[in-house]
Structure 1
Amino acid sequence: MTVPTAVPFTLEDYAARMARVVTDARAAGLDGVLVTPGPDLVWLTGYRPTALTERLTMLFLQEDREPTLLVPTLERPDAEGAVGSAAATLVDWPDGADPYAAASALLRPDGRYGVSDNAWALHLLSLQTALPGTAYDSLTRRLPMLRAVKDDNELARLAAAGAAADATYEEIVTVRFAGRRETDVAGDLADLLRGFGHEQVDFTVVGSGPNGANPHHEAGDRTIEVGDCVVLDFGGLLAGYGSDTSRTVSVGEPSAEVSEVHEVVRLAQQAGVEAVRPGVACQEVDRAARRVITDAGYGEQFLHRTGHGIGVTTHEPPYMIEGEELPLVPGMCFSVEPGVYLAGRFGVRIEDIVTVTQDGGRRLNDSPRDLRVVG
């Protein structure tokens, strides 16, 4: 597989994102948005500090001021190296100075601000102490769409990440499973993801036999046996954007029960994907997938939401879950990953990343969803 070269994001791309955030913040009744190191800062500036320390780094986005990025003096050279930071005025503070005094000078004393979810409590509480008249809201609560809708360049990166995950799956089913530990297969998955272009591997779940019935099992020392059903869930970042896919395989010929459950999950996943279209509430994707599993008698064994958003991180809004009435919008990307988990026995999960199009949904994963037999 040839890994496509990502088109670099430009200064104009980052400036447009900042402007959009300011507009959205105003519509949400906020006086501005405060962004600390984490996925929001990466998306808005391209800046990822080399170390997350107690020193305050914060991007200030407000309607009545130019974007401003406050950084420790010793980290200024790194911040200047990020393409998007040039769309903001860079202000630094030296060790020994009070960074909250510098931050306070950039804020209204009675303002209400959205704060990125990665903000340290230390920084938020110190701002409240410095400006007791200010109020703060979580960006996820006030601006859940912040990173949810992807542009064409972002979609291309997500598609490339999905293709690399597909290529990884096609290779992993050719290796030996029986007689090896889960951690051995997980190591193969990590090597393959990197080999197909991922710069970061976030997870390599290998849940064999009864371990597959735990949705958050990762990989352990259990030796995989002939007759096991094995859940594989793996992903990471390629060109800064995430992959996340799940397939379930059988070591040797599957039992009739494993085949039956797998088919139920496959049909549920298909139903969830088919429910995707603009204007539909997120919860309808969950309902469509869950209905198939419930009708088959396994409703109590579907233990988690149907999906989560993906972008510069592998988990972000929106979430496909009952009660989430946010409407789907073209450019949103998220997983559709129903599963059935029979405690102490086995589990089955099938997952693809889907993007909302103008008239429906499009999978960003194309690897086979049938029950593959491995050795």
Structure 2
Amino acid sequence: MTSPSTTPGQPLPFTADDYRARMARAAEAADAAGLAGVLVAPGPDLVHLTGYRPTAATERLTLLVLRAGHDPVLVVPALEAADAAHAAGASALTLRDWTDAVDPYALSARLLGPNGRFAVSDNTWALHLLALQNLLPSTSYASLTSALPMLRAVKDAAELERLAAAGAAADATYERILKVRFSGRRETDVAADLASLLREHGHEQVDFTVVGSGPNGANPHHEAGARVIERGDMVVLDFGGLKHGYGSDTSRTVHVGEPTAEEQSVHDLVREAQEAGFGAVRPGAACQDVDRAARAVITEAGLGERFIHRTGHGIGVTTHEPPYMIEGEEQPLVPGMCFSVEPGVYLPGRFGVRIEDIVTVTEDGGRRLNTTPRELAVVE
């Protein structure tokens, strides 16, 4: 259910009913997997399930406890209880606040029971998990990603709307960055332009602005540095963040001045591989099929050893999350899944090329959430 009121350009807000349904699905998924429940500390899983984002994770325990057949409970420090009570999903759960004079682990242990195996959000502090284990030695724990990897993978219509808006904002950013001058400026200057444009187009958070010029482009996660971009450079651009709480992530490779025949050929190869990866997106296909399709194109051209990362990753309330498009991942694609398709070729000491779109699985194939041209653009 959604609220009828919103402001122009803003998506309809998630409601308590939306969060209630998410928490119920998580508890049911855990039960179906033979788990006693799900334990969620501050982080993206807590935001997704409740709408509550504490100002910071601290040594004070905050823990969402989800168990099939039980009401959701959020254990929260008393000094943060007021903020938690105002979260969008607060009315869908029970708050159990505790003061510094109370043992929060004993409180939580009573909610868990003496035994069972629980899925625990990946960013839970070891301090908290070890304390629970000490009190409940007959319990055991598994990371949420390994136990329930698809918990956030399939997006509903409202989530897809947010992801599409984030993708459109990233596309608008790319179109604008093509008009700025590259040559004679530092990578950090162009990265600052990207960050500014993302914010101008509605991003409340910028997560990364990779600008890899010349040989730096051969490092897929190059941090923009002081290198001055020169005419003749290939430049890898990879940027994204959060808009309306959901992620954008796109990559394009541009060239300063006219490219050489080899540079154009490598770029054409990556573009063909990216198209092949996208073409493999359809319901029922395995995640690894997307990786295989893209990788086969580059391998057949003799550059397989220069494609050194997975073909894609999921995206949602974070810019990297399951599912992952990589060999060995047999999870079938389902309508509503969203992930990147981003093959690349990296020639050490020379240049790199990467092309990335976010795509979503539809009933009969896939749909790109990034639609800017994938041809090699020439910039000044």
TM-score (norm 1): 0.99
Structure 2 residue runs without a partner (length 5+): 1-6
Instruction: Give the Cα separation in 2 of the matches to 1:240 and 1:91.
Output: 26
Instruction: Give the Cα separation in 2 of the matches to 1:337 and 1:318.
Output: 14
3-state SS of 1:248 partner: strand
- The Cα offsets for residues 24-44 of structure 1, whole Å up to 9 and x where unpaired, read as 111100011000000100000
Instruction: Give the Cα separation in 2 of the matches to 1:137 and 1:257.
Output: 48
Asked whether 1:236 is paired with 2:248, we answer no
Instruction: Give the Cα separation in 2 of the matches to 1:96 and 1:297.
Output: 65
3-state SS of 1:203 partner: strand
Instruction: Give the Cα separation in 1 of the matches to 2:38 and 2:301.
Output: 46
Instruction: Give the Cα separation in 2 of the matches to 1:4 and 1:166.
Output: 17
Equivalent residue letter for 2:265: E
Q: State the superposition RMSD in angstroms.
A: 1.0
- The counterpart of 1:73, out of the listed 78, 81, 84, is 78
Instruction: Give the Cα separation in 1 of the matches to 2:183 and 2:260.
Output: 16
- The Cα offsets for residues 44-76 of structure 1, whole Å up to 9 and x where unpaired, read as 000000011111000000113210000000000
Asked whether 1:202 is paired with 2:213, we answer no
Structure 1 equivalent of residue 108 of structure 2: 103
Asked whether 1:176 is paired with 2:181, we answer yes
Instruction: Give the Cα separation in 2 of the matches to 1:138 and 1:298.
Output: 36
- The counterpart of 1:117, out of the listed 97, 122, 140, is 122
Q: 61-70 or 160-169, which moves further after superposition?
A: 61-70
Instruction: Give the Cα separation in 1 of the matches to 2:299 and 2:255.
Output: 24
- Within 5 A, what are the aligned runs for 1:222-233? 222-233=227-238
- The Cα offsets for residues 277-302 of structure 1, whole Å up to 9 and x where unpaired, read as 00100000000000000111110000
Query: Cα distance, 1:138 vs. partner?
Result: 1.0
- The Cα offsets for residues 216-273 of structure 1, whole Å up to 9 and x where unpaired, read as 1020000000000000000000000000000000000011111000000000000000
Structure 2 equivalent of residue 132 of structure 1: 137
3-state SS of 2:208 partner: strand
Structure 2 equivalent of residue 255 of structure 1: 260
Structure 1 equivalent of residue 294 of structure 2: 289
Instruction: Give the Cα separation in 1 of the matches to 2:11 and 2:59.
Output: 33
Asked whether 1:350 is paired with 2:355, we answer yes
3-state SS of 2:111 partner: coil
- Within 5 A, what are the aligned runs for 1:279-318? 279-318=284-323
- The counterpart of 1:190, out of the listed 168, 191, 195, is 195
- Within 5 A, what are the aligned runs for 1:4-23? 4-23=9-28
- Within 5 A, what are the aligned runs for 1:33-44? 33-44=38-49
Residues 10 and 83 of structure 1 are in contact (CA less than 8 Å); yes or no, is this contact kept in structure 2? yes
Asked whether 1:50 is paired with 2:63, we answer no
Equivalent residue letter for 2:50: T
Instruction: Give the Cα separation in 2 of the matches to 1:42 and 1:238.
Output: 14
Asked whether 1:272 is paired with 2:277, we answer yes
Structure 1 residue runs without a partner (length 5+): none
3-state SS of 1:83 partner: coil
- The Cα offsets for residues 289-319 of structure 1, whole Å up to 9 and x where unpaired, read as 0000011111000000000000000000000
3-state SS of 2:24 partner: helix
Structure 1 equivalent of residue 328 of structure 2: 323
3-state SS of 2:124 partner: coil
Instruction: Give the Cα separation in 2 of the matches to 1:95 and 1:182.
Output: 48
Asked whether 1:85 is paired with 2:85, we answer no
Equivalent residue letter for 2:175: E
- The counterpart of 1:218, out of the listed 216, 219, 223, is 223
Structure 2 equivalent of residue 161 of structure 1: 166
Taking only the aligned residue pairs, the percentage that are identical comes to 74
Query: Cα distance, 1:118 vs. partner?
Result: 1.1
Instruction: Give the Cα separation in 1 of the matches to 2:377 and 2:101.
Output: 61
Instruction: Give the Cα separation in 1 of the matches to 2:9 and 2:374.
Output: 25
- The Cα offsets for residues 348-370 of structure 1, whole Å up to 9 and x where unpaired, read as 00000000000100000001100
3-state SS of 1:105 partner: helix
The alignment of Structure 1 onto Structure 2 pairs a total of residues equal to: 374
Residues 4 and 160 of structure 1 are in contact (CA less than 8 Å); yes or no, is this contact kept in structure 2? no
3-state SS of 1:134 partner: strand
Structure 1 equivalent of residue 4 of structure 2: none
Instruction: Give the Cα separation in 2 of the matches to 1:199 and 1:163.
Output: 15
Residues 129 and 107 (structure 1 numbering): CA distance in 2 closer, same or farther, change over 3 Å?
same
Instruction: Give the Cα separation in 2 of the matches to 1:194 and 1:297.
Output: 40
Equivalent residue letter for 1:138: S
Give runs of ≥4 in structure 1 deviating > 3 Å. none
Query: Cα distance, 1:85 vs. partner?
Result: 1.9
Structure 1 equivalent of residue 365 of structure 2: 360
- The counterpart of 2:341, out of the listed 331, 336, 353, is 336
Instruction: Give the Cα separation in 1 of the matches to 2:137 and 2:151.
Output: 27
Query: Cα distance, 1:3 vs. partner?
Result: 8.3
